[in-house]
Amino acid sequence: MTFAIHAEGLTKRFGDNQALAGVDLAAREGTVLGLLGPNGAGKTTAVRILATLLAADSGQATVAGFDVRTDPRRVREHIGLTGQYASVDDDLTGTQNLVMIGQLLDLRGVEARRRARELLEWFDLTEAADRMAKTYSGGMRRRLDLAASLVGRPAVIFLDEPTTGLDPSKREDMWGVIRNLVADGSTVLLTTQYLAEADALADEITVIDRGRVIAGGPPDQLKRVLGGQRLSVRPADLGQRDELRRLLAVIGHGEPAEEGRDGLTVSVEGDDVLPDVVAALRSAGIRVTELSLHLPSLDEVFFSLTGRSEAAHQSTDRTTEKEPVA
Amino acid sequence: MTLTTTAPAELSVSAPTTAEGDRPTGPRALRHVLVLARRNLIKTIRTPEQFIDVTLQPVTFLLLFAYVFGGAISGGSRHQYLEFLLPGMLGQSVALGSIALGQNLKADIEKGVFDRFRSLPIARSAPLVAAVIADFARYLLLCVILVGFGYVMGFRIATDPLSLIAALALSIAFALCFCWISVFVGMKARTSGSVQGIMFLLVLPLSFGSSTFVETSTMPGWLQAFVKVNPISHLVGAVRGLMLGGPVGSNLAWTFAWMAALLVVFVPLALRGYARHA
């Protein structure tokens, strides 16, 4: 198996802060690896090391087959980087931004301009091509930023929280772009705090927290490993709710939890549990308006892994992941 | 939205790879520097307030010193003081003008633009060298404005036009060496605002503790000792010699020595600071 990104035992310390404490990552060619974790987990640090912007204290990593420590220049020939904050040049127009990157990648003037035009068109920025980037909306800046990282047709693309701060419809657009990149053969490392985003895009997910990998695998497997499936039931008659609760406690694992206004949910094992549930409900005479079996959401997975709810992370200080400047 | 269409398939410009695979050298590295220098020039031209420190500011200084202090300092002859002051102002102005460079570099780093440059297969020094080269245009403007305005006020060179050009070239060359201090501070300071604070602390004593505004002989002995080793004094001495006549040799030699020393010390320091920048 060929890995486009492969890292073993990466560590990095900033002063008293152990940003990475031995992280392993692997992404097969032509797939999306989702790097998921709360703010301050070390996601950005890991990306910066893989993109040769930062040297790890220990551990080793290869990107596109080249060692980031001994062969950084080769690595840079094969990567595209889109940072957490759009790193386009405000005082340059969209075209100037992209042509400049093309020229720095040794495209001839004509080629660089043609490539810029293609990318602007692809990202729906043709009309804004000759406007300074400072006049762009947040979504347009993100698109220009992503376009800038694609000028050299990189084999490996690092997207560090590409949709943070975008509204939901713009986020879906960005997802479409990322899917297309992968369809064209690129490998993508995507960091995100949005579980739905990792779920929607990633072939493999690595969850990190406080500089350590705490779980990894394909999204479905990750969900299954963590507590099997969830059974959700809503009684037709609220008076039967306590009776339903006792019944679910017998069928499932652990205490049934409240769900929504008057539903109950419990984790169950096995794909063939549903007929038994139906039979048990019938013999107990409990009528239900809703009955479903599904894998837990990544939110629930994340909660059970870290013991903290993602909602709580969202409100934590965004600066915690920023690396102190030397 | 056309975002969901796939990339056009006929694009087959292959990803650029260096034949030698190692660091970009010679013409390639030079081309990268020129591309980046052009970017800096575009940015400067689009933000005209970036020119204040090389246009209005030195002119204001010239007016203030010539008309407010000139009479008192020279003991009456304002014209004589202007002849003395203007060549000196060149040294002070290029030192002050260099502050913006470090500030702008720091701002670029804060915005993440340099992360993109660092992720490209170009020489790490290219963005810094490019910024310094683009600053050349600002210093040239500074020289033209200062001398032009001085002429309006009555300043006349006592030598020939060639010497004037040599004096301006020397000032600009000195500026391109001196500004590496600003680049270095830009790499080390925590914010672009603090670059300005730090550089002012350095530039003000250097420019006022020199032979720019008054004759060295009027100062106390300990200060004279400082003024005599101050690179700005040597630059000002050489520029005065070239514009007004008189001996140039020793000041010129010292100026060149200082320029070399500034480059030898601050270029590697700045590059190291840049490479380490997380």
B65 in a structural domain? yes
Looking at chain A, which residue has its C-alpha nearest residue B113? A87
A39 in a structural domain? yes
Query: A105 and B118 in contact by Cβ < 8 A?
Result: no
Looking at chain B, which residue has its C-alpha nearest residue A48? B278
Residues of B in contact with A176 (CB under 8 A): 3-4
pLDDT at A322: 42
pLDDT at B140: 92
- Pairwise CA distance, residues B7 & A176, whole Å: 12
B14 in a structural domain? no
Are A44 and A162 part of one and the same domain?
yes
Looking at chain A, which residue has its C-alpha nearest residue B32? A104
Are A279 and A206 part of one and the same domain?
no
- Planar angle of CA A54, A59, A63, nearest 5 degrees: 65
A168 in a structural domain? yes
Which ranges of chain B have pLDDT less than 70?
Answer: 1-24, 277-278
The DSSP-derived string for chain B is --TTSPPPTT--PPPP--SS-SS--HHHHHHHHHHHHHHHHHHHHH-GGGGGGGTHHHHHHHHIIIIIIHHHHHTT-HHHHHHHHHHHHHHHHHHHHTHHHHHHHHHHHHHTHHHHHHTSSS-TTHHHHHHHHHHHHHHHHHHHHHHHHHHHHT---SS-HHHHHHHHHHHHHHHHHHHHHHHHHHHHSSSHHHHHHHHHHHHHHHHHSSSSSS-GGGS-HHHHHHHHH-HHHHHHHHHHHHHH-S--HHHHHHHHHHHHHHHHHHHHHHHHHHHH--
Q: Which amino acid is at A77?
A: E
pLDDT at A1: 59
Q: Which residues contact A180 (CB under 8 A, 6 or more apart)?
A: B4, B5, B6, B7
Rounded to an integer, the average pLDDT of A111-116 is 95
Looking at chain A, which residue has its C-alpha nearest residue B126? A104
B20 in a structural domain? no
In Å, how far is A214's CA from the nearest CA of chain B? Answer: 26
In Å, how far is B97's CA from the nearest CA of chain A? Answer: 21
Residues constituting chain B: 278
Query: A104 and B120 in contact by Cβ < 8 A?
Result: yes
Mutate to test the interface with A, among B115, B191, B277 (most CBs of A within 10 A): B115
B256 in a structural domain? yes
Which among A165, A186, A215 is the end of a domain?
A215
Query: A183 and B13 in contact by Cβ < 8 A?
Result: no
Looking at chain A, which residue has its C-alpha nearest residue B109? A87
Q: Is the pLDDT of residue A253 over 90?
A: no
User: In this complex, is the C-beta atom of A263 within 8 Å of any C-beta atom belonging to chain B?
Assistant: no
A49 in a structural domain? yes
In Å, what is the CA distance from A150 to each residue of A153, A181, B121?
5, 9, 14
B5 in a structural domain? no
Looking at chain A, which residue has its C-alpha nearest residue B10? A118
pLDDT at A84: 72
Residues of B in contact with A326 (CB under 8 A): 276-278
Residues of A in contact with B190 (CB under 8 A): 325
pLDDT at A205: 92
pLDDT at A186: 92
Residues of A in contact with B2 (CB under 8 A): 121-122, 124
State the DSSP H helix or E strand holding residue A142, giving kind and residue range, or none if neither.
helix A138-150
pLDDT in tens, A194-229: 878 888 899 999 989 889 998 888 988 877 766 667
Are A124 and A61 part of one and the same domain?
yes
pLDDT at B16: 41
B7 in a structural domain? no
Residues of A in contact with B193 (CB under 8 A): none
Are A233 and A164 part of one and the same domain?
no
Q: Which residue has the higher pLDDT, A300 or B160?
A: B160
Looking at chain B, which residue has its C-alpha nearest residue A153? B15
Which B-chain residues 24-53 have CB contacts (< 8 A) with chain A?
Answer: 28, 31-32, 35-36, 38-39, 42-43, 46-47
CB-closest option in B8, B117, B119 to A118: B8
Which A-chain residues 51-90 have CB contacts (< 8 A) with chain B?
Answer: 51-54, 73-74, 76-81, 83-90
Where in the sequence is the domain holding A195, given as residue range(s)? 3-215
The CATH number given to whatever domain includes residue A59 is 3.40.50.300
In Å, how far is A29's CA from the nearest CA of chain B? Answer: 17
- Pairwise CA distance, residues A80 & B120, whole Å: 8
B12 in a structural domain? no
Which B-chain residues 133-152 have CB contacts (< 8 A) with chain A?
Answer: none
A116 in a structural domain? yes
User: In this complex, is the C-beta atom of A243 within 8 Å of any C-beta atom belonging to chain B?
Assistant: no
In Å, how far is A314's CA from the nearest CA of chain B? Answer: 23
Q: Is the pLDDT of residue A298 over 80?
A: no
A311 in a structural domain? no
In Å, how far is A179's CA from the nearest CA of chain B? Answer: 9
Share of chain A above pLDDT 70, in %: 90
Q: Is the pLDDT of residue A313 over 80?
A: no
The CATH number given to whatever domain includes residue A279 is 3.30.70.100
pLDDT at A2: 82
A304 in a structural domain? no
pLDDT at B23: 62
A319 in a structural domain? no
pLDDT at A226: 63
Query: B3 and A149 in contact by Cβ < 8 A?
Result: no
pLDDT in tens, A56-108: 999 999 999 999 999 999 999 999 998 776 688 888 999 999 999 999 999 99
A317 in a structural domain? no
Query: B11 and A118 in contact by Cβ < 8 A?
Result: yes
Where in the sequence is the domain holding B259, given as residue range(s)? 28-276
- Pairwise CA distance, residues A182 & A31, whole Å: 6
Residues of A in contact with B32 (CB under 8 A): 103-104
Sequence-distant contacts of B254-262: CB under 8 A, at least 24 apart: B255/B170, B255/B174, B255/B231, B258/B174, B258/B177, B258/B231, B258/B234, B259/B173, B259/B174, B259/B177, B259/B178, B260/B177, B262/B177, B262/B178, B262/B180, B262/B181, B262/B231
Query: A53 and B119 in contact by Cβ < 8 A?
Result: yes
User: In this complex, is the C-beta atom of B217 within 8 Å of any C-beta atom belonging to chain A?
Assistant: no
User: In this complex, is the C-beta atom of B272 within 8 Å of any C-beta atom belonging to chain A?
Assistant: no
**CB A295, CB A224: distance < 8 Å:** yes
Rounded to an integer, the average pLDDT of A128-151 is 91
Mutate to test the interface with A, among B1, B3, B43, B129 (most CBs of A within 10 A): B3
**Count of domains forming chain A:** 2
Tell how strand A187-192 and strand A32-36 pair up.
parallel
Query: A122 and B1 in contact by Cβ < 8 A?
Result: no
Mutate to test the interface with A, among B13, B34, B187, B190 (most CBs of A within 10 A): B13
pLDDT at A275: 87
**Count of domains forming chain B:** 1
B204 in a structural domain? yes
pLDDT at B18: 40
Query: B4 and A86 in contact by Cβ < 8 A?
Result: no
Report the phi/psi class of residue A66: left, alpha or beta, with left for phi > 0 and alpha for psi in -120 to 50: beta
Closest CA relative to residue B38, chosen from A129, A104, A81, A77: A104
Residues of B in contact with A107 (CB under 8 A): 13, 16
Q: Which amino acid is at B85?
A: L
The DSSP-derived string for A228-258 is -EEEEEEESSGGGHHHHHHHHHHHSEEEEEE
Are A192 and A67 part of one and the same domain?
yes
- Pairwise CA distance, residues B51 & B139, whole Å: 10
- Pairwise CA distance, residues A9 & A213, whole Å: 10
